[in-house]
Amino acid sequence: MSQEKFDSTDLKILDALQRDGRLSNVDIAEQINLSPSPCLRRLRRLEEEAVIEGYKARLNRNRLGLAMTVFVQVKLRSHSADSVAGFEAAVQQMEAVVNAHTVSGSADYLLEVVVADLEGYDLWVRQIQQLSMVREIESNFALRAVKADAPLPL
């Protein structure tokens, strides 16, 4: 739809930053063989156009005591606008939910939930089950991360 707007230099900047979000402009410039001034111009443009939505630190969940990641498939009772809006608002307020998508297939939503332990998960499940618009959930516990938060293929 729009990737024609970005030349290979833009992509190199984006790729450098998705691998190390704290690179300074001069470091990026050096890495992609460009001088700092045009590099900064491009970077600012990419930020303004919201191609870069933000920056974040990648934290180690286990070391923070968040040892449990669960993928939860949710089916709603009805797909009325109210049900959908209510469910999504609830999901957005739940801090344990770090990712949520509507999906094709037999489930309506796929959520990624992060909690400390089984007890924390139990508490969260009770919250979700109290939502009247939820018909059914199926939990799949992440046993091991094979690949996490890898860079996008640019």
Q: Is residue 19 within the footprint of DNA (CB under 7 A)?
A: no
In the complex, the smallest distance separating the C-beta of residue 33 from a copy of itself, rounded to whole angstroms, is 20
Stretch that binds DNA, among 18-26, 80-88, 126-134, 141-149 (CB under 7 A): 18-26
Q: Which is nearer to DNA, 37 or 102 (CB)?
A: 37
C-alpha pair distances (Å), 35 with each of 2, 17, 67, 131, 132: 26, 17, 44, 55, 58
Q: Which does 35 bind (CB under 5 to 8 A by kind): DNA, a copy of itself, none?
A: DNA
Query: Which element (helix H / strand E) includes 121?
Result: helix 118-129
In the complex, the smallest distance separating the C-beta of residue 28 from DNA, rounded to whole angstroms, is 8
C-alpha pair distances (Å), 1 with each of 5, 6, 7, 49, 53: 10, 12, 14, 15, 18
Q: Is residue 40 within the footprint of DNA (CB under 7 A)?
A: yes
- Return the structure tokens found at 45: 């443009």
Q: Which does 44 bind (CB under 5 to 8 A by kind): a copy of itself, DNA, none?
A: DNA
